Structures are given as C-alpha cells and as structure tokens.
Amino acid sequence: MTSSTPSGASRHFVLAAGGTGGHLIPAFALAAELHQRGHHVALITDERGANIPGKPDFMPAHVLPAGRFGKNPLGWIGGVRAVLEGRTMALRLFDHFEPSAIVGFGGYPALPALLAATSAGLPSVVHEQNAVLGRVNRLLAGRVDAIATSYDVVDRLAPKHAHKVRLVGNPVRAEVLALREQDFPAFTEESLLRILVTGGSQGARVLSEVVPDGLAMLPPALRQRLQVTQQCRAEDLEAVRKRYAEHDIPAELGTYFEDMHERLADAHLFIGRAGASTIAELTAVGRPAILIPLPIATDDHQAANTREMVRAGGARMIRQEAFHPKELAKQIQVMAMNPQSLANAAHCAFNCGRPDAAKDLADLVESMSGIDLMDVIRVGEGAPAAAAAAVRTATGTARKAAKDSIES
C-alpha cells in the first residue's frame, strides 16, 4: 500500500521518541521513508536520543523536558512539572514547524509532544514496537488517532481502542532490510556453524556465563565446527575469552560491532535477548534464534515478543531461570544437528518478517494529515503545492483555535 508523494506536496512531520535504540531505530527508519517521499521531518527526544549514532543528518533534533515517573509518588510532582514544560515548548515548536502529524514511538520524551499535539488539534499516531503496549502509549491510547502495532496480538491494549489499531510491523534499518534478498547461508553436515550472540545494547552477563560452557557440551561432531561471534560487556570480556580458549572454541569477542548487520547475514543461529528491534531484524533477515527474554523487562514484554516467532517455529525461548549450559546445548542440538532443521527454522523466521513496515507506517502517517494523497494527485499538475499549502493553513488555523481555547 505504498504511496508516492507528488512534487510540491511536501509536508512536515514530527517524530517523538525516547532515547534508546529500541525507540529510535524505527523512528529513524520512518524518517528516512518520509524524507524519501519529499517530506520534512523533525525529532523530539532526550539528550541520549539527540546524540545517538545513526540519527539522519536531515532530521533536526529538539530536546524537551519530559520527566520520569518511578515507583515513588513523591517524585511525580517534578515529573508532571517537566512534562507540562515540555508540552509548552512543543507547542512553540509546532507553531514554527507547522507539522501535519505527530508520531510517537514510546518513552517518556514522547509524552509532552503528543500531549501538545492533542491539545493543538493535530493528528497523532503512536507506534508500539513490543507485543505489550508500553506505559506512555497506554496513557495516550485514548487521545491519539491511530495505534500502529508490530504484532497481531498486543497485550495491555484496551478493547475500546481496538478500532484505532493498524498492524504495520516494526521498521528496521535499511542495511538490515537489504539482507532479506539474500539466501540463508549454506549449512551442511560438514560446514561451519556460525553462531551470533548478543545481549542488547548493554550486553548481558548471563550470556557470558552460560553460552561458552553450553557450546562446550555439544557433541564433538558439532562442537568442532563452531565459529562464534559474541558481544560482551567490557567487564566480562577477558573471562569469556578465557572460557572459549579453555574449550578450544574459536570465538571473536567485542563490546560493540559496527558491522552487526554483516555478522547477522553470515550467522546460522542467533542467541540473545528478545528486544523489539532484535526480533524485527531476525525476522526481516530470516535467522533462527534461541531467545532469553530479559526477566526485568517492563510487563515481561520481551517474553511476549517471542510468541509469534516461537509459534511459527523460527525460534526457541528459554526463561533466564532455566537458561543453563545443559539446556542451551540441548536446544542447539534440536535445531542444528540436522542441517535441514536449521534451514526450516530460518524459513519460519523469515515468514514472520514484515519488510514493508516503514512504508506502511509512512502511508498511515500521511493519511493522518488531513487530505488523502489521491485527492492531491487528482487536482492536476501545478495544483499539489496549493493543496498542500491549504492543508498547512487549515491545520494551522485549527491549532491556533485550540491553543486560544486552552489559554482562555
């Protein structure tokens, strides 16, 4: 359902997201798609998000106060004050930027921008990356015009908001999406078994403790063919290197790999956490996985993220309390002792992918901006610019009326 914006129909959109990769990777992918369609895009985030690697050069970032709401209610007063301050600043930004719609990707920095959007009468969309609706998105679900989801089943989504839901998937980086056109790496009874192990942006100590010993428990015929790439926390690096050396298993270790997409392309099996971006990339490329959800993830959302992929046969999930070397070795054998089993799991993972997520989300966002694009296209050559100007004027008038009403 991809649309193409005609010359002269450029619009302005604001994306609002927390400062983590899980929120920002899909935001950046949407920004690239909107930019390619001729639109202008701005970002509202926190200090981390404004400085995170990978932010598109064409997208200016604005840091607004957001506040946080922890378990202690005494701290909520300051959080509310920060949100209100951020909302006021967002309204001033909207007056200058004149956006056609606001898109939130979760995280507290998205809250003031979306509150400003609803109070100003601007169309708004939230995108949920996980299989559980996040706290900020739950808070805003009743206010926004649409809820874009990454999974067909999303927990904590109220039935009364079901009519707003649009399943689009979770956008991934362009370099990862390009790998979808490549075949699963050849895997036979004689070839190397390349395993990629990551614990998310911060690493995971449990992977460092369990994976080397688990791989060492594999039958010799399989263990002798291993080639491991593992991301570790800096403080775990030397201990993990020593364990692999003791087991005589070749392993490349690092705290961060800039070419992670290339390593994913070469991998036969992934072992790691079940963050939303990880699942989206595994299914975009079609890589089988053994997933260990982060046990302290809010609302146990990482476990929920694994459901679709596990049900399809593309992954196996092990709870962290059951994640021991013997269990890991057992699950690897089930998946990899028969080369065809691993290829079948890769195909199942591939079938879970939603490669058009960025395009479908961009279509949804464009449809929120007041005039259907087909109406703009039909008005004839030379008219799109006037039509787009009319959209901006109309939304600006509505925004001013709403703001005057609030201030009075």
- Is the separation of the CB atoms in 253 and 237 below 8 Å? yes
Query: Residues 193, 337: one domain?
Result: yes
- Specify the CATH number for the domain of residue 370: 3.40.50.2000
- Is the separation of the CB atoms in 227 and 250 below 8 Å? yes
Beta strands in 186-241 (DSSP E): 193-198, 226-231
Residue with tokens 């703009």: 376
Structure tokens at 26: 């899909």
Looking at residue 65, what is its pLDDT? 81
Query: Residues 136, 192: one domain?
Result: no
Structure tokens at 87: 């909302």
Query: Residues 79, 138: one domain?
Result: yes
In a domain, 2, yes or no: no
- Is the separation of the CB atoms in 280 and 170 below 8 Å? yes
Residue among 98, 95, 137 nearest 114 (CA): 137
Query: Residues 315, 279: one domain?
Result: yes
As a whole number of angstroms, the distance between CA 180 and CA 402 comes to: 46
In a domain, 49, yes or no: yes
Query: Residues 302, 379: one domain?
Result: no
In a domain, 3, yes or no: no
Total domains in the fold of the chain:
2
Query: Residues 335, 226: one domain?
Result: yes
Looking at residue 78, what is its pLDDT? 62
The residues that bridge with 44 in the sheet, in sequence order, are 16, 62
- Is the separation of the CB atoms in 100 and 391 below 8 Å? yes
**3-state SS class at 395:** helix
Instruction: Tell which of 307, 332, 351 closes a domain.
Output: 351
Looking at residue 1, what is its pLDDT? 43
Instruction: Tell which of 309, 329, 351 closes a domain.
Output: 351
Instruction: Tell which of 334, 351, 368 closes a domain.
Output: 351
Query: What is the full per-residue pLDDT of the chain (408 aa) written as tens digits?
Result: 444 444 447 999 999 999 999 999 999 999 999 999 999 999 999 999 999 988 999 999 999 887 665 566 655 566 678 888 989 999 999 999 999 999 999 998 899 999 999 999 999 999 999 999 999 999 999 999 999 999 999 999 999 999 999 999 999 999 999 999 999 999 999 999 999 999 876 668 999 999 999 999 999 999 999 999 999 999 999 999 999 999 999 999 999 888 999 999 999 999 999 999 999 999 999 999 999 999 999 999 999 999 999 999 999 999 999 999 999 999 999 999 899 999 999 999 999 999 999 999 999 999 988 645 433 333 333 333 333 333 333 334 434 443 443 333
Looking at residue 279, what is its pLDDT? 98
Query: Residues 29, 103: one domain?
Result: yes
As a whole number of angstroms, the distance between CA 193 and CA 404 comes to: 65
Residue with tokens 């007056």: 95
Looking at residue 369, what is its pLDDT? 80
179 DSSP assignment: G
Query: Residues 134, 242: one domain?
Result: no
The residue segments making up the domain with residue 299 are 176-351
184 DSSP assignment: P
179: number of Cβ within 10 Å: 17
As a whole number of angstroms, the distance between CA 23 and CA 129 comes to: 8
Burial category of 163 from C-beta neighbours within 10 Å (exposed 0-12, middle 13-18, buried 19 and up) = exposed
Query: Residues 347, 359: one domain?
Result: no
Query: Residues 163, 189: one domain?
Result: no
In a domain, 385, yes or no: yes
Longest dimension (CA), the chain: 77
In a domain, 321, yes or no: yes
Looking at residue 82, what is its pLDDT? 84
**H or E segment at 42?**
strand 40-45
Query: Residues 138, 277: one domain?
Result: no
In a domain, 361, yes or no: yes
Residue 40, C-beta contacts closer than 8 angstroms, at least 6 positions apart: 10, 11, 12, 13, 97
In a domain, 383, yes or no: yes
**H or E segment at 271?**
strand 269-272
As a whole number of angstroms, the distance between CA 65 and CA 92 comes to: 14
In a domain, 227, yes or no: yes
Compute CA distances 402 → 119, 395, 407, whole Å: 7, 10, 9
Query: Residues 249, 162: one domain?
Result: no
